[in-house]
Structure 1
Amino acid sequence: MKKLIGNLKGDKGIWSFVALLAVFSFMPVFSASSNLAFMNNGTGNTLSYLIKHAVHIIVGFFMIYRLHKTPYHYYRAISRILLPFVWLLLGYTLFKGTVIDGANASRWIQIPFVGITFQTSTVASIVLMIYVARYLSKTRETPITFQNSFLELWTPVGITLALILPANFSTAALIFSMVILLVFIGKYPLKYIGTIIVMGIVAFSFFILIVKAFPDAFPNRVDTWMSRIENFTSDKPDEDDYQIEKAKIAIASGGLYGNGPGKSVQKNFLPQSSSDFIYAIIVEEYGLIGGLGVLLMYMLLFFRFIVAAHKANSLFGKLLVVGLGFPIIFQALINMGVAVELLPVTGQTLPLISSGGSSIWVTSIAIGIILSVTKKEQEVAEELKEKEQREVALQKLIDKQLAEDEAEKLQDFNLENNHSIEEVSNPMDAVRNK
């Protein structure tokens, strides 16, 4: 174990908080999977779901380990190569996407012969963030202009968001917000950022008008968004969608200390209790203290991301940490906000805690790349420390040699003086003897 921990490079704080969240996830996932275990005439045995979640976590940590060993500057070229393939996957998902548990149509894609499903928009977000970080950090001989950046930066961003938006508004909005934050940190001109935000609002409004005019033109979930916003702003909850009500009951019954691990009642009635609404189950079983503890873990992880971005020795490294780390924290806050009815239902999972392989693996990929950045910082610091130690050792050796040379010169000088004194004193002794 000590040898294994010794092979883990990078920010130890990030490693620790990620491991704590992953280990804690076993308890609420094991408890909240009971409703899934009883679906379709199931036996109610949640052990298989726990084993499945354990496999997802183990594979996720293997991804983190392998990716954090790879120098992060390799991802510059990889993002440009992968972006067109991501567009093909998003287009295929939009028109041929599968359905998971009767919901979330056109978000998921299934790998043939394997049976694994994953959400392509989460993969697209990572590739796009790396691409934006690469563009902002590359060396230029001339200042950025809106015309050049629109073609090279905003056109790929627009294509990616256009393919995600019809099926997943919350993910598209989160990605767009993170791109805006990233270009702001990357010192992209503010007047151009304002122009892009206005263009984004206009494009989204035009999209809504097109969908309303031609509702069957292409797959979309605009009606679902509208109903969720109406339910959020209305005093009369929708009778067919009672997820928020069940989540509020779960949170209210948890109290300060909770009902205890595995003793949730609402997990049997709350849809998506092991994924989208797992935070409500956490508060019901572990109380307000448990809920705040989970929130604290994410905030501490957020703090470590800020420290890692500050310490990064290149602009590309700083932007990678921000572009890949901050969305993890904001997604967690959105998930918690939905559970406590601060936000409309969005379908965002709780990173590293909710069940689901694609969510865990994509988060693991982002964590692995961030740790690769911090590993490089650590290596540079170790090289500087070794260089300083070599310089100190060399200086000590030089000082020692100089001291020995001075001592030898002094000794020769003393011998010469003693010899001269003897030569002077010997004739005087001869005269006295006479």
Structure 2
Amino acid sequence: MSVMGQIKDRTANRLGRSDRSAVGRWFWEIDRILLFFVTVLIAIGLIAVAAASPAAGQRYSGGSVSFTPLHYFYRQLVWIVLALPVMIGVSMLPRAKARRLCLIGAAFFTFLLFLVPIIGAEVNGARRWIGMGFTQFQPSEFLKPLYIVSIAWLLSLKNQDASLPIVPLTGIITALIALLLMQQPNFGETIIFVAAWVMLLTLSGAPLRFLVFLGVAGLVGIVLAYFFYPVATIRIDAFLFSGAEHDTYQTDSALRTLTAGGLFGAGPGAGMRKFQLPEPHTDYIFSVIGEEFGIIACLAIAVIYLVIVARVLIRLLHEEDQFVVLAAAGLVTQFGLQALINMAVNVQLAPSKGMTLPFISYGGSSMVALSIGMGLLLAFTRRNPYLHRSPYVVRWSGR
């Protein structure tokens, strides 16, 4: 047998279904289709950041000679190299260990939210970041997936003891986080946290009357925010009332940029409107994709997000563990909602939120935090391929 043949046989044996090593079990238990689509999003993001990097560099370089046109592309490549091992490592965790780490991490990053107003760095009028040597990170980005898993665990405890005040406790936790986020201010992230909490309550079997009450309370909260929360007032006015007195430059520029390329785009690097676009590499990268690669590419990206959400929800139909159902559904809902809000802002269907497009927008905090969240989602959706094939197969050890 040739040397290449021996190598192929060894690889097949190592990744065969009989391989009981940690890597072998992970390879056959992981949702490889989900992992594939996430990888596609990361690859699309890298191309999109390369397209947006010259425009972002021109806006933020301050005339620096060392600021190359692909500055943000190279930085994003570094973040991807760091984030992918994090995602794979988290996806290999047993469910019980992943849950414990999420509880610890949620407590830690909630504590950091308290510190943001004190030691946080101010960027574009908002204090959301904590400086850490050569870079900064946003605690709320890391808190999102950890919060969802922690709330899912608390709500799953109702099955063990219905007398526990779980719903009020989760409501207090969510309200505390929302207040801390609004103080930054970070209205978009506040919506994500509250929406995730309501969705988890719905899946956990909360009474319909209580959910209706929350809906009414949410509408009242939006009205109060409009009158008493300046950030909400500015964003809602700019969205509803266009005119000289309301600044709609960002969303107007985003829509003009997105539609400038037509169906098939102006071509890689050929876009010109992106140079007038604010935050072309982060909040409005979807518009850059529209200009250079066309509306067809934007629709394809939207379909990928939809496929990821649908894939996870369909996979959960056969799951019996309520905690896993709540955690995985919450994680994929948060992921899909963030993508939906970003795309809606770019096409002027929602007011500007300052929210990134998952795995596509530039950003270290966003990339690593999303990798943690997706790693948790992959860990909770792992399945033993032999679980339903033989009555002699033991339940998956990851539970």
TM-score by length of 2: 0.85
The whole-number CA distance in structure 2 between the counterparts of 1:237 and 1:311 is 54
The whole-number CA distance in structure 2 between the counterparts of 1:21 and 1:84 is 30
SS of corresponding position for 2:51: helix
> Residue 37 of structure 1 is aligned with which of 51, 57, 74?
57
The whole-number CA distance in structure 1 between the counterparts of 2:393 and 2:327 is 32
| AA matched with 1:135 | L
> Residue 382 of structure 1 is aligned with which of 386, 395, 399?
386
1:384 offset after TM fit, Å?
A: 4.4
The whole-number CA distance in structure 2 between the counterparts of 1:323 and 1:144 is 24
2:99 corresponds to 1:76: yes
The whole-number CA distance in structure 2 between the counterparts of 1:235 and 1:80 is 44
> Bigger shift: 89-98 or 351-360?
89-98
> Residue 294 of structure 2 is aligned with which of 270, 287, 291?
287
SS of corresponding position for 1:99: strand
The whole-number CA distance in structure 2 between the counterparts of 1:312 and 1:121 is 29
Task: Show the counterpart of 1:92.
Answer: 115
Task: Show the counterpart of 1:176.
Answer: 194
The whole-number CA distance in structure 1 between the counterparts of 2:168 and 2:115 is 24
Task: Show the counterpart of 1:11.
Answer: 31
1:276 offset after TM fit, Å?
A: 0.1
Contact 1:309 1:319 in 2 (8 A): no
Rg larger in structure: 1
1:173 offset after TM fit, Å?
A: 1.1
Task: Show the counterpart of 1:129.
Answer: 148
Contact 1:312 1:373 in 2 (8 A): no
When residues 80 and 21 of structure 1 are mapped into structure 2, their CA distance, relative to the original with a 3 A threshold, is closer
TM-score by length of 1: 0.78
The whole-number CA distance in structure 1 between the counterparts of 2:160 and 2:255 is 56
SS of corresponding position for 1:348: coil
The alignment-based identity, stated in percent, is 26
SS of corresponding position for 1:107: strand
Render the CA deviation track for 1:285-325: whole Å, top value 9, x for unaligned.
11111111111111111111212322334111111111111
- Structure holding more helix per residue: 1
Contact 1:10 1:372 in 2 (8 A): yes
1:197 offset after TM fit, Å?
A: 4.4
> Residue 61 of structure 1 is aligned with which of 42, 62, 84?
84
How many residues are treated as equivalent by the alignment?
Answer: 370
When residues 140 and 234 of structure 1 are mapped into structure 2, their CA distance, relative to the original with a 3 A threshold, is closer
| AA matched with 1:266 | R
Contact 1:178 1:327 in 2 (8 A): yes
The whole-number CA distance in structure 1 between the counterparts of 2:143 and 2:125 is 17
The whole-number CA distance in structure 2 between the counterparts of 1:318 and 1:150 is 17
> Residue 120 of structure 1 is aligned with which of 139, 156, 168?
139
1:123 offset after TM fit, Å?
A: 1.9
SS of corresponding position for 2:294: helix
The whole-number CA distance in structure 2 between the counterparts of 1:251 and 1:87 is 37
Render the CA deviation track for 1:378-408: whole Å, top value 9, x for unaligned.
22x4244365599xxxxxxxxxxxxxxxxxx
> Residue 110 of structure 1 is aligned with which of 124, 131, 140?
131
Task: Show the counterpart of 2:281.
Answer: 274
The whole-number CA distance in structure 2 between the counterparts of 1:10 and 1:84 is 28
SS of corresponding position for 1:76: helix
Contact 1:29 1:354 in 2 (8 A): yes
Consecutive unaligned residues of structure 2, counting only runs of 5 or more, are 1-7, 16-22, 395-399
> Residue 230 of structure 2 is aligned with which of 218, 223, 229?
223
2:26 corresponds to 1:22: no
When residues 244 and 78 of structure 1 are mapped into structure 2, their CA distance, relative to the original with a 3 A threshold, is same
1:150 offset after TM fit, Å?
A: 4.6
When residues 142 and 373 of structure 1 are mapped into structure 2, their CA distance, relative to the original with a 3 A threshold, is closer
Contact 2:289 2:298 in 1 (8 A): yes
The whole-number CA distance in structure 2 between the counterparts of 1:144 and 1:60 is 41
